[in-house]
Structure 1
Amino acid sequence: MSSSYPDYPLRRYGNDHDRYDWSYSALRPKDGPGRLDVFIVVPLEFFPLTPSGKPFKHPGAMVTPYPDLRHFSTRDYGNRVGVFRILDALRDAGMRAVFPVNGMLLDRCQPLIERIAEAGHEIAAHGVSTDHIHFDGLSEADEAGYIDQTLELFSKKGLQPKTWMSPARNESYRTPDLLTKFGFDTCLDWEMDQVPVAMNTENGPLTCLPNHFELNDFNLLFTKRQSEDEWSDQLVESVNYLAAEAEAYGPRVMGFTLTPYIAGLPFRIHALRKTLAAIEKLNKVRVSVPSLIRSDWLQK
């Protein structure tokens, strides 16, 4: 190994960046008892039949040679059928969620978007499409163009989202600065803590809420091939554990994802309903949406 490999100019105690302050959880003041805020993320995504694959294919992108109708139609099923089962389960549990939407999907699923809005859920921006990945190889102008195009598509529908989630939750080093430049105040890409983190940007703070990939249904049910009961148990256990931490040490926040073409399948809805019912019964737990969670934390 070259002797230059261990050389890293930003190595220092704490963070190797200035996006947010170093904060060692064990040394934080104990502010308990507090509440656990849970937010549920339901991404609505547009998957082109011919993804460019630059700089990589989205984890849910097409797999087999063109035309990959099997995977395309499965994703389309999620937006046509599966998501409505999730909406029904949320309604019956009396819960609201955040729906990050690819801009290119707004015209294709207008009745769905209207139903989501009428039910009081939060609608967030999720980039242009799954084939518009933010990464450091983009020029600043190109990345700004992606965000501007996203907002233009939302504006045509009378929507002005302030919450953002990047396609594939991938960013460039400049993404936070561009998000605040375009008026976003909340981001669901990061998961470096169990409380909201105010990220420093060139245009003011960007509130990052911990959206846990390890609890993502795609990760647990598809990638790791776990059973529906195992998935449900892990979600409920996470909520129970963090609720206990909140009671002992102070308020906590956690987010998890329900993918329409994963969680919305008929044989999984019973597990989702069981999970939501178990969470609803817990004391000191509130299921809310990112904009409200951010507002409440800023007032503390």
Structure 2
Amino acid sequence: MPLPAEFLEYPHRAYGMDQDRYDWQPADRRAPLHLKSGAKAMAFITIPLEFFPLDPPAKPFKHPGAMVTPYPDLRHYTTRDYGNRVGVYRLLRELGAAGVKATFAVNASVAERYAPLIETIRTAGHEIAAHGISTAHIHHAGLSEDEERALVTQTRAVLPEAITWLSPARNQSFRTPDLVREAGFTICLDWESDQRPLDMRTAHGPLTCLPNHYELSDFLMLSTRSQSEEEWADQILEAAAQTVAEHGARGAQCFGFTLTPYITGLPFRIEAVARALTGLAAMEGLEVATASEVSAAFAETSS
């Protein structure tokens, strides 16, 4: 049975990337950028602090880390809770030992429930980013504009100082960038279209997207693909080394990756985290910073 004709219709189909948020600009057709600091590349680390309800909604889909077995799925719930109670403090310890600052993407529900944890992160000098309300509040095209605006507004009320946004499950509707920018967020970690900050057009001004690489995520590599901790740490360091090595041809570039407290905060994985962090911190030509610092540094680059 053939598909309906409207399945082949897309209003933004055009030369380039089939969307109007940013221009098509391949890496080999633009002038190299140079950072004022002299660094050849920058890296940032995203650490999600998420609230997982025991009985999550299935529409539009369950968050990738959501409960798995029938209600009440206490096994997976307590595993996630372990990340916010124990694992995150191991990550904080290793970040401090390496002298590295990270961007903690915080669900509003977590900020309301775990105030001492949020204060510890702030005191250590890390960035607090907004990560929506919770893993049960997915942004998607099935929401009305008012419904989605309410999700962003509620998150903003709990995290008024955040300028960086990461959607729950990194999922958006077509209007999410407009609503996020309308609420005062200027940086977004959902898209990874480039290897330098990319200014997206919104109805309320530019929204800077940073390449937060899912392919380096601990959730994907260690949990979904079952790679070893040693392989994962090697891949992070190789990504950094290659990004630095490309400076001569492409100028300054950046990338990010995710550390999930209930995955890499476990005791048998923390040594790999420490090796990755110390390796990044010691790498010549690489600067490790928060997402907002990366955005600011590239805003001052010269070609």
Which of 118, 123, 139 is residue 113 of structure 1 equivalent to? 118
Spell out, residue by residue over 1:83-110, the C-alpha distance to the aligned partner (whole angstroms, 9 max, x if none): 0000000000000000010001113211
Q: What's 2:162 paired with?
A: 161
Q: What's 1:17 paired with?
A: 19
The 8 Å contact of residues 34 and 247 in structure 1, kept in 2 or not, is answered as no
Spell out, residue by residue over 1:263-285, the C-alpha distance to the aligned partner (whole angstroms, 9 max, x if none): 00000000010111111221110
CA distance in 1, matches of 2:52, 2:3: 42
Question: CA offset at residue 299 of structure 1?
Answer: 2.0
- For the pair 1:177 / 2:182, whether they are aligned, the reply is no
Question: CA offset at residue 34 of structure 1?
Answer: 5.5
Question: CA offset at residue 186 of structure 1?
Answer: 0.3
Which of 96, 99, 106 is residue 101 of structure 1 equivalent to? 106
1:144 partner letter: R
CA distance in 2, matches of 1:239, 1:2: 44
The 8 Å contact of residues 39 and 287 in structure 2, kept in 1 or not, is answered as no
Which of 54, 78, 81 is residue 83 of structure 2 equivalent to? 78
Normalised by the length of structure 1, the TM-score is: 0.95
SS of equivalent to 2:254: strand
CA distance in 1, matches of 2:80, 2:3: 46
The 8 Å contact of residues 126 and 166 in structure 1, kept in 2 or not, is answered as yes
Q: What's 1:257 paired with?
A: 258
SS of equivalent to 1:19: coil
Q: CA RMSD in A?
A: 1.5
Normalised by the length of structure 2, the TM-score is: 0.94
CA distance in 2, matches of 1:100, 1:66: 27
Listed as ranges, the gaps of 5+ residues in structure 1 are: none
SS of equivalent to 1:286: strand
CA distance in 2, matches of 1:133, 1:7: 25
Which of 50, 57, 63 is residue 55 of structure 2 equivalent to? 50
Alpha-carbon distance change, 2 to 115 in structure 1, aligned in 2, over 3 angstroms? closer
1:298 partner letter: A
Question: CA offset at residue 9 of structure 1?
Answer: 5.2
Alpha-carbon distance change, 292 to 9 in structure 1, aligned in 2, over 3 angstroms? closer
CA distance in 2, matches of 1:8, 1:161: 34
Alpha-carbon distance change, 28 to 269 in structure 1, aligned in 2, over 3 angstroms? same
CA distance in 2, matches of 1:139, 1:7: 22
Identity of aligned residues (%): 53
CA distance in 2, matches of 1:151, 1:11: 33
- For the pair 1:132 / 2:163, whether they are aligned, the reply is no
- For the pair 1:197 / 2:198, whether they are aligned, the reply is yes
The 8 Å contact of residues 87 and 264 in structure 2, kept in 1 or not, is answered as yes
Moved more, 273-282 or 4-13: 4-13
The 8 Å contact of residues 34 and 248 in structure 1, kept in 2 or not, is answered as no
- For the pair 1:59 / 2:64, whether they are aligned, the reply is yes
Which of 142, 145, 148 is residue 147 of structure 2 equivalent to? 142
2:120 partner letter: R
Alpha-carbon distance change, 9 to 112 in structure 1, aligned in 2, over 3 angstroms? closer
CA distance in 2, matches of 1:149, 1:3: 39
1:20 partner letter: Y
The 8 Å contact of residues 32 and 251 in structure 2, kept in 1 or not, is answered as yes
